[in-house]
Each structure stands twice: as structure tokens, then as C-alpha cells.
């Protein structure tokens, strides 16, 4: 595609989550049509099967990927990772190629390993 940029999975996920939030907000403000959301309803309720999945902190060798997968039948719509330890740096945080999970990797200065936690926001497609 010359002159055009493809939308990455992360940007698409952000757009989907943001759109769901905007849709939920619009529902609460749409009193003219007689539709109102229950008081205190979370924006996540607008996304079918919304679930946050976590992979708790564990030490892995520097630059080794930790991958967290969504439950069967769900896809990842967002996620993140955290590097823990003195001088720890998060090197990467991105969805898997097939959009069924999230990957986190990092490094730690002066140590051969780093603590990595991974989080994924999953939903039904």
C-alpha cells in the first residue's frame, strides 16, 4: 500500500474500547429517545464478554516474552505490561499476531532477569 498506513492491532483495540465508551456515554445522554442506562452502569457493559485477565509478576530472563492469552472464544481488545525491579525497563507491550492475547517483555540493568506482569482486556468478537 503505497502512501497509506495500515492500522495496527493496538490502535484498532483502542478505537474499539474508546468507541464502546462513547456509545455507553451516548446511551446515558439519550433521553430524547426514551433510552437511559442504569445509574452507575460501567462503560464495559457495552462490550460483550468484557474481562480483564492478568499474568502475575514473575522473573524471566531479560528480553524474554511473557504471553497471556484470553479465554477460549475471546479476542484481546487492549492490554499492557509492567516491568518490575531496580532499573527495570519495559521494552515491549503489544497484542499477539492472532489477537488472542497480549505480550510483555523487558530488561533490567545489572541483572540477568526482570519481573514482568501482563494484563489483557478480552471480549467476544
pLDDT digits (tens, 9 = 90+) for 112-125: 999 999 999 999 99
| Residue 2 in domain | no
The answer to whether the beta carbons of residues 82 and 56 sit under 8 Å apart is: no
| Residue 58 in domain | yes
| Residue 57 in domain | yes
Task: Tell me the pLDDT tens digit for each residue of 41-52.
Answer: 565 568 999 999
| Residue 53 in domain | yes
Query: Residue range 100-112: average pLDDT?
Result: 96
| Residue 4 in domain | no
Measure Cα distances from 8 to 11, 54, 61, 67, 95 in Å: 5, 23, 28, 19, 10
Residue carrying the nine cell digits 516491568: 83
| Residue 67 in domain | yes
Count how many domains the chain has. 1
Cα 33 from Cα 39, distance rounded (Å): 17
| Residue 3 in domain | no
Query: Residue range 10-28: average pLDDT?
Result: 40
Cα 66 from Cα 57, distance rounded (Å): 10
| Residue 35 in domain | yes
* The model's pTM: 0.65
Cell triple for residue 111?
A: 541483572
Residue 115's domain spans which residues? 9-123
Amino acid at each position: 500500500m503505497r502512501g497509506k498506513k495500515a492500522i495496527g492491532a493496538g490502535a484498532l483495540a483502542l478505537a474499539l474500547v474508546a468507541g464502546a465508551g462513547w456509545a455507553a456515554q451516548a446511551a446515558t445522554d439519550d433521553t430524547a429517545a426514551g433510552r437511559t442506562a442504569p445509574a452507575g452502569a460501567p462503560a464495559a457493559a457495552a462490550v460483550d464478554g468484557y474481562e480483564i485477565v492478568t499474568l502475575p509478576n514473575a522473573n524471566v530472563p531479560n528480553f524474554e516474552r511473557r504471553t497471556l492469552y484470553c479465554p477460549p472464544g475471546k479476542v484481546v481488545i487492549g492490554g499492557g505490561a509492567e516491568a518490575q525491579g531496580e532499573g527495570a525497563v519495559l521494552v515491549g507491550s503489544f497484542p499477539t499476531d492472532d489477537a488472542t492475547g497480549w505480550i510483555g517483555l523487558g530488561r533490567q540493568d545489572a541483572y540477568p532477569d526482570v519481573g514482568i506482569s501482563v494484563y489483557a482486556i478480552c471480549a467476544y468478537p
